[in-house]
Structure 1
Amino acid sequence: MGYKKVCLNCKKAFSQGTNFEMLYDSNCPDCGEKMFQVNQKFKPPRKSDDKQWFVVKFLIENGFRYQSIYQTINDEVIKVAYPLKMSEAKDFIITYDNQKIT
């Protein structure tokens, strides 16, 4: 299991491997903007999908870096899927605020 770095400006994701001792802030090799570390299971949208990248940016900037999010329903813990639409993303960050990365 590794992790990825995402450039929200270039709309690119870079796999970073599994050496967790080398976690560090970095800038995009293409544009120089800050990159964000996300879960290895993050699947970036197509570079041309501006709407989906807007949702990705909104979630990441609000502390949701595609880590696992859970909800308890009737004593059963369920993994929650990340939203694909902006209207859903706004509710998502409010509902799961206690699970965001600060």
Structure 2
Amino acid sequence: MVQKEGVVFVTLSEKIQFVRKNILKLNVSDFAELLGVNRRTVSAWEHEEMNPSLNNIVNMSILSNISIDSFVKGNQSFELICRDISREQYDILNQVIKEYKKR
């Protein structure tokens, strides 16, 4: 996370790790399996050693219900797309957002 003049820039690697741990609640191996890549690939994404393909970004967007723009724009917080979800799921997402803002 980088901060410039009061604006926090969250890197793609931080976003990927946040989605994996806090939204999908998966370990690296399970997340990799879900995306059809190996564990080392996910680790490389999270350590800024390489970037995911557009296809993988699209898949992460679909799985996490977060817009593609939110993943790739470095100066934008996650923008959650809340369509066709239950009230319970909505409340959980709000809880995740509150926890994310605390960090």
**TM-score normalised by L of structure 1:** 0.28
Which has the larger share of strand?
1
**TM-score normalised by L of structure 2:** 0.28
Which has the larger share of helix?
2
